[in-house]
Amino acid sequence: MSKTTAAPPRVLIEDWLPAAAIGVECIRERSTGQQPPDKRLHVWWARRPLTASRAAVLASLLPADFPHETFERLLGFGRPSAEIVSVRRLMDTGYKVPGGFGYDRAFKNPWREDDMQLAQKAAKKLWGDNIAVIDPMAGGGSIPLEAARLGFRSLANEYNPVACTVLEATVDYPFRFGEKLARAARKWGKVWEERIAKRLASFYPVNRSGSVHAYIFARTVPCPDTQYHTPLVPDWHLLKPKSGVNVVAEPQVEKDKGSWRVRIREIGGEAGRLREPPKPSYSDGKGISLFTGRQIPSDYIKAKAQAGEMRSALYAVAIKTPQGLRFLPPDEGDLKAIKAAEKSCTSCGQLGKKQMSFRPSYIQKYRATSGRGYTGCRDGLTCFRPASFSALVFLSKSFVGFGRKYSIWRRNAGSLSFYYFLSFWTSLRTGTAFCHRGILQRVLLAACSIVTIFPSSPLGVRWLPCQQAAA
Ligand SMILES: C[S@@+](CC[C@H](N)C(=O)[O-])C[C@H]1O[C@@H](n2cnc3c(N)ncnc32)[C@H](O)[C@@H]1O
């Protein structure tokens, strides 16, 4: 029996797409250091830009004869695509175009209600009333998010639990809870921030000439001959600008005391500068002892790591100043803070060992499949440095206790916890966590901005249709 199937209707993306201008908007979306909120919430790779995602969704739903200029406005273009490309070309020559593109980045722009109605009508004519956009491998969720913003039923599938969490926080909660979630995030985030800031203050001193940008640590192992801990540093550079002066940490060893610290030096031929950067004390898996100058074999380093004898030493602190980064050796306050963190680690060590430990079977599998040596991370205590670990434990505990005390988790159906936790894990991953108050700012910014931007009508999000689609 023969089966006849109707040819699928021809859609816009098969005939035409302002690809070059979409490319320009994708660059704008990514290049300003002000990523859209969904990107700031948590790191997820291969996440598509919002403008490209919206273009793909819309152009796959609209008929091939849909008016081009309406489509471009719906993408958030503030001028015709040809002009956008010309402006970009001009900018690429180095010319400073007065007023730039002349409109905000596309993903932020509201659309005209009559344009949206035209698009909805045209899509429904082609596909019927119950349009659903499905992304079977949705990752960080750009496509489902844009489909939902456009007011279509949006279905996302994903097998990675981290991406699923990101998806839920990005595509589900903002549309389900809307502005009230942003308000709650702001309110409770502030209360939480104050409590945490007080508790973590002893780990992160702020009594310097600027805010701490980074703490710079070295892994250390006992020197095989002297048993004094010696740093394994592949590169002593602290700053290597494309132009300007390189800055390094120069190790100063007190052999009789078995200690070392660094001097901050500039590199150059002028008086007072160091001619060459100091030689690395770690390269190709092998170390060089600062105390004897002799080589430390890689097997020895691995064995020490696996035996839990590898440590870390803070050797420089980067401070943000109006003139740029300034580097200092750690002072009394920094070292005292490390001691405080280590002490706190001892008291929460059990939690680190019990609840944050890798199973032996995982370690075995890692050894067998990675082809790399296992360097001794067995549990929370060995994965993080003391201050981060103590802060992590404190944050987790206070997070639950705080929620219980104010009964906020129940009221907000767990959604706030998603934002807070995602944000602070992001801070951990990107290394900004717990430096100064970085994490707290991130928690608040990410949690509030994502909820605020997407479902709010001034930016053109079709909040009601989304709610109806989700119902
Ligand atoms: C390139 S990313 C997705 C990008 C996303 N579609 C977007 O537009 O931003 C691919 C995603 O597919 C997921 N994935 C791969 N194979 C899968 C499978 N069999 N089932 C579900 N998800 C899968 C991966 O975990 C990853 O997050």
Q: Which residues pair with 239 in a beta bridge?
A: 247
Does the beta carbon of 54 lie inside 6 Å of ligand 1?
no
Cβ–ligand 1 distance for 134 under 6 Å, the answer: no
Average pLDDT of span 289-303: 95
Residue 137 CA: nearest ligand 1 atom is: 12
Whole-number pLDDT of residue 172:
80
One-letter amino acid of 95 = Y
Whole-model pTM over 0.85 = no
Q: pLDDT-derived band of residue 461, with 50, 70 and 90 as boundaries?
A: very low
The CA-based angle 280-285-290, given to 5 degrees, is 40
Report whether residue 158 contacts ligand 1, using a CB cutoff of 6 Å: yes
214: part of which helix (H) or strand (E)? strand 211-222
Helices (H), 106-167: 113-127, 142-149, 161-167
Q: For residue 187, what are the contacts with CB-CB under 8 A and spacing of at least 6?
A: none
> Worst-scoring range by mean pLDDT, 71-85, 153-167, 223-237, 318-332?
153-167
Is the CB of 168 inside a 6 Å radius of any atom of ligand 1? Answer: no
Rounded CA gap, 188 and 401, in Å? 13
- Whether pLDDT at 296 is above 80: yes
Ligand 1: distance of its center to the CA of 26 in Å?
20
**Tokens describing residue 150:** 């456009």
Residue nearest to ligand 1 atom 12, measured at CA: 137
Alpha helix stretches (DSSP H) within 255-407:
298-306, 332-355, 360-370, 380-383, 386-406
pLDDT band at 3 (very low <50, low <70, confident <90, very high): low
Tokens of 71: 């489509």
| Ligand 1 atom nearest to CA at 135 | 6
Run of H or E including 54: helix 50-61
**Protein residue whose Cα sits closest to atom 4 of ligand 1:** 139
Give the chain's count of helices (H) and strands (E): 20, 12
137 in contact with ligand 1, CB cutoff 6 A: yes
Task: Name the strand (E) or helix (H) holding 264.
Answer: strand 259-266
Q: How far is the CA of 427 from the centre of ligand 1 (A)?
A: 23
Please report the pLDDT score of residue 440 as a whole number: 45
Kindly give the distance from the C-alpha atom of residue 223 to the centroid of ligand 1, in angstroms, as a whole number. 47
Let me know how long the chain is: 471
The average pLDDT across 92-112 equals 91
* Listed residue (138, 180, 134) closest to 46, CA to CA: 138
131-145, 181-195, 339-353 — which one is most confidently predicted on average? 131-145
156 CA to middle of ligand 1, Å? 10
Q: What angle is formed at CA 348 by the lines to CA 345 and CA 350, rounded to 5 degrees?
A: 115
Residue nearest (by alpha carbon) to ligand 1 atom 16: 137
Q: Give φ, ψ of 232 to 5 degrees.
A: -110, 95
Q: Which residues contact 173 (CB under 8 A, 6 or more apart)?
A: 181, 415, 418, 419, 451
User: From the alpha carbon of 142, which atom of ligand 1 is closest?
Assistant: 9
What is the chain's mean pLDDT, rounded?
Answer: 78
User: What is the pLDDT, as a whole number, of residue 225?
Assistant: 96
Q: What is the CA radius of gyration of the chain?
A: 27
For ligand 1, say whether the CB of 154 is within 6 Å of any of its atoms.
no
State pLDDT tens for residues 162-221: 677 778 778 887 787 777 777 777 777 777 767 777 777 777 776 566 777 778 889 899
* Closest Cα to atom 15 of ligand 1: 137
Of ligand 1's listed atoms, the one at least distance from the Cα of 46 is: 1
Question: Is residue 75's pLDDT more than 90?
Answer: yes
Q: Which residue of 38, 158, 171 sits with most ligand 1 atoms within 8 Å of its CB, as the best mutation to test the pocket? A: 158
Q: Check pLDDT > 80 for residue 422.
A: no
49 close to ligand 1 (CB < 6 Angstrom): no
143 lines ligand 1 (CB under 6 A): yes
Q: Is 385 in the pocket of ligand 1 (CB under 6 A)?
A: no
CB 334 within 8 A of CB 316: no
* Centroid of ligand 1 to alpha carbon of 44 (angstroms): 11
